[in-house]
Amino acid sequence: MKTVAETCKAAKENVAYPALLSSEDKNRMLAVIADALEADSSSILAANAEDIERGKELPAHIIDRLRLTDERIKGIAEGIRQIIALDDPVGKVLAHWVNHAGLEISRVSTPLGVIGIIYEARPNVTCDVAALCIKTGNAVVLRGSKDAYVTNSELVRSMKNALEKNGFESGFIQLIEDTTRKGAEDFMHADEYVDVLVPRGSANLIQTTKKNATIPVIETGAGNCHLYLEKTGDISMAKDILLNGKLQRPSVCNALESMLVDREIASEALPVLLGALLDKNVTIHACAETMSACPSLADKLIPAGDDDYGREYLGYEISCKLVSGAEEAIAHINKYGTHHSDVIITKDEAAAEKFRREVDSAAVYVNASTRFTDGFEFGFGAELGISTQKLHARGPLGPEQLTSFKYIVTGNGQCRK
């Protein structure tokens, strides 16, 4: 088994290869990888079944993230093909000017270098990240969890074989074999070889990486996402968006975890919204006012405490609280949220604008499901993760966010006086 250092070093030694490829070659690489993943679906699914059998005692939301199907593999391949259609983000002249000394100065986009990603039982990330790194000319070191190691290994084998069969090098894609805690710690300290590290997974993984890594970290965030039904909002629309956001895939970070309802319409809205959730066997952690405002359902609700409003449930649970107006809703979201994705349901443009301006989240929605916070849905093809921090990369991390820049300075003999 290769050590973590050996794996990271191999990526560093091959970092120039993707950086110097033409747009045409990078797109051809992506095309052969997409085709290969679909062609190799049987072996990929067999590997995935092995991981699922070994991890059958894992929580349901982990199994859901771990599981691949024919449809999900086709979705991964389609995401890669979407990346092909995007503009090449490398080599763009971002700005150009001439300074007082007559020097021509250009700021030009460049790859970041070696991107490391440490993630949990999400095998789709293996392909998404590799594809984005190809498009952006970066090398990549992948470190998935032990729960998905067999699947990840097969996915990497498929991608690298496809590249090599078509005359491309593949050494810039590396998979860490050591899935122990010590292996993770070694990866976090591999700053000699890795330029940036992205943790993608639970809040614990993200915080552990932030606290321990000696490599610069792009933080991807947990998702305590809110729906706020403002007093003018359409209750039927709110119900549809609530059920989509909570139930389509409860285990993902853009799923709804908290619901706020304006007190003025509580008696009308709560029976509809809470009833729809209860019909789907969703556990509801409700404030005392919610229980009083909806007495017919009160015995089916669980009293909520402050801890419930800040939780990322990742399952069939949600919190519910009554508020008076957008001001109180926004204050609650900014206090308890994770700055990921939040939505207001309203017909009042002033309330919508206030929500857009004051909610401090990476994605702010008006009358649409938070489930759209996704690289594929945003038109990026795939994503490295969804960043909730405030550096240059925020929201879905697509190709543009995986580049840096350098200054190109051209003169005709100038010397500084």
**Cα of 352 vs its chain's centroid, Å:** 25
Q: Does 15 score more than 70 pLDDT?
A: yes
**In whole angstroms, what is the distance from residue 46 CA to residue 331 CA?**
48
pLDDT at 383: 66
Buried/exposed code over 44-59 (b: 16+ C-beta within 10 A; e: otherwise): bbebbeebbeebeebe
pLDDT tens track for 315-359: 899 999 999 999 999 999 999 998 899 999 999 999 999 999 999
**Measuring CA to CA, how many Å separate 214 from each of 6, 190, 197, 370?**
18, 7, 9, 33
**Cα of 127 vs its chain's centroid, Å:** 14
pLDDT at 381: 62
For CA atoms 273, 257, 351, 372, give the dihedral sign: negative
pLDDT at 169: 97
8-state DSSP, 375: T
pLDDT tens track for 355-367: 999 998 888 999 9
Question: Torsion angle of alpha carbons 391, 397, 400, 402, nearest 10°?
Answer: 80
For residue 185, name the pLDDT band (cuts at 50, 70, 90).
very high
**In whole angstroms, what is the distance from residue 202 CA to residue 252 CA?**
10
**In whole angstroms, what is the distance from residue 136 CA to residue 370 CA?**
27
pLDDT at 202: 75
SS3 for 49-73, per residue? HHHHHHCCCCCHHHHHHHCCCHHHH
8-state DSSP, 365: E
Give the chain's radius of gyration (CA, Å).
24
Alpha helices by DSSP H, listed for 86-228, are: 123-136, 149-165, 181-188, 203-212
Q: Does 283 score more than 80 pLDDT?
A: yes
Three-class DSSP category at 105: strand
* β-pair type (196-200, 225-229): unpaired
pLDDT tens track for 108-161: 999 999 999 999 888 999 999 999 999 999 999 999 999 999 999 999 999 999
Question: Which whole number is the average pLDDT over 199-214?
Answer: 86
For CA atoms 23, 29, 31, 33, give the dihedral sign: negative
**Measuring CA to CA, how many Å separate 35 from each of 73, 198, 382, 403?**
11, 27, 16, 26
**In whole angstroms, what is the distance from residue 247 CA to residue 245 CA?**
6
